[in-house]
Amino acid sequence: MGILSLLLWTPSAGALLLAFTPSHNYKSIRIIANLFSTLSFLLSCWLVSLYNQQNPELQFSEYFPLNPNLGSAYALGIDGISLPMLALATLLTSIALLASFSISSNIKGYHICILLLEFGMLGVFLAQDWALFYVFWEVTLIPLFFLIGRWGGKRRHTASLNFVLYTMGGSVFMLISLLAISQYDLEHSGSLMTTMHQAARDMPRLEQILVLLGFLCGFGVKMPIFPLHGWLPLAHVEAPSPISILLSGILLKMGAYGLIRVVTMLPEAAHALQPVLIFLSLFGMLYGGLLAWRQSDIKAMIAYSSLSHMGIVLLGIATLNEIGITGAVLQMTAHGLIAGAMFLLAGLLYERTHTRNIQDYSSLVQIMPRFALLMTLTLLAAMGLPGSIGFVAELNTLIGGFQQWGGLMVFFSLSLLISAAYSMRTIGLLLTGPVKSKMLHIADLNTTELLAAGLLVSCIIIFGLMPTPLIDLSAATISQINNQISQRLL
């Protein structure tokens, strides 16, 4: 078994072991789940150390034919785009499990669902076959439906149903686009991913545009892109906080990752739709930022800020140039760390106070200094303060966008000002003012919580001060993608 298969199947092995663990043995269930998630994270770190950053081609490839007539195969591989997402997925799953000690009902089912969700997420980033990619894409829906619907808040059933219906609706458009490409003669010498890239070259321009629109609907729901974001606020608010970490930190990145792959496959269509993409990205950034500014529910604020930050990713992809795509990939990692940290800290605060209303808090810096420090650093990173990974990502995207559209980037700058406004507002309401009597006896973060949140905040700052290793990890692959797009657009 290759290292990629070992990484992919480790969470499912943990879920299988949990299935045979007695339901009343809570301690063993938590230990097993955390052990397998930690093992997955260590495997991803090992993979990063083995990865050759100078080689833009797929590495550690595994190939086993499944359906020779269709050309589908069990094809795995990684490159500079998928590897950061793998490491982020395994890290945030470990963090989510560390933050799950407050879950007290049906603990066995909860941990099995999280490990199965990790299995699906890893499969999306490892799959090098469109059929396999689509299967893993759909696999993530099942555990998420139960995680939100069983362990969520008061409106959890509505939230889980909305999420599944939105995502399944988008998946229909994605499937139609895949079938449209498969109508062309596909060479079955390689995986379906490779053959579809080849077939896309022969498609008429109008058909390429229609196919890309289908993919945009499918991936746009998951990113999400305005106006396909309707499921996002309710799902984030009602989901348990550990699940919100995964939902915002990883699940949204699956849509952006798929869109990068499709734009590489259909650059002519992406170039034709550039005005649409730039409008959707800039409008989404402003719209999400303004809605985040209006929220009193801290989780709703983070949810709408995710819509704004994912607009930056779409903007980077829409530039179709190297520095813009670099900014998009960096923003995917940055938002995963920042949103993960914010949802983790917001969840830990909710467990102590049972309120998400920002107006109910005041002067937490005196009562919870550890929490105050980490939350302040995270919110400053969310507004793109220099010294954080958010600044590096936004700067690259801004430069790429300016090279492509010039003065339109004034709207990008306006969205950054709005981000600064709601971040500073949240810091002011949470941490300053007179101490409220009902907040006097709130406990600060314990050692486990401090470790989980501190790890994410440390990554935000370290990669902000020293972004070169993260940039170099993807540079060769992004350069190859840029060359492929440039050659097709000549």
Is residue 313 within 8 A of residue 256, CB to CB? The reply is: yes
- By the 8 A CB rule, do 201 and 179 touch? no
Torsion angles phi and psi, residue 357, rounded to 5 = -75, 120
Task: Mark the ranges of the chain whose per-residue pLDDT is less than 70.
Answer: 69-71, 185-193
What's the CA gap between 235 and 243, in Å, rounded?
10
Residues 6+ apart with CB under 8 A from 175: 134, 218
Cβ(334)–Cβ(460) under 8 Å? yes
Dihedral (Cα; 471, 476, 481, 483), 10-degree rounding? 120
Residue 388 has what pLDDT? 92
* pLDDT value of residue 391: 92
Residues 6+ apart with CB under 8 A from 183: none
Cα 366 to Cα 393: distance, rounded to the nearest angstrom: 33
- Residues with Cβ within 8 Å of 176's Cβ and at least 6 positions away in sequence, in order, are 214
CA pseudo-torsion sign 253, 258, 260, 263: negative
Give the integer Cα–Cα distance in Å for 345 and 39: 24
- DSSP string for 316-366: HHHH-SHHHHHHHHHHHHHHHHHHHHHHHHHHHHHHHHS--BGGG---HHH
- What is the pLDDT at residue 187? 58
How far is 196 from 244, CA to CA, in rounded Å?
A: 34
Bond before 227 cis per omega within 30 degrees = yes
Closest listed residue to residue 297, CA positions, set 249, 241, 253, 335? 241
Tally Cβ neighbours within 10 Å of residue 477: 23
Q: Whole-model pTM?
A: 0.93
d(CA 218, CA 176): 10
* Residues across the chain: 490
Check the CA dihedral 416-419-421-424 and report its sign.
negative
Contacts of 265 (CB under 8 A, 6+ apart): 196, 197, 200
Is 183 in contact with 190 (CB distance < 8 Å)? no
Identify the pLDDT of residue 30. 92
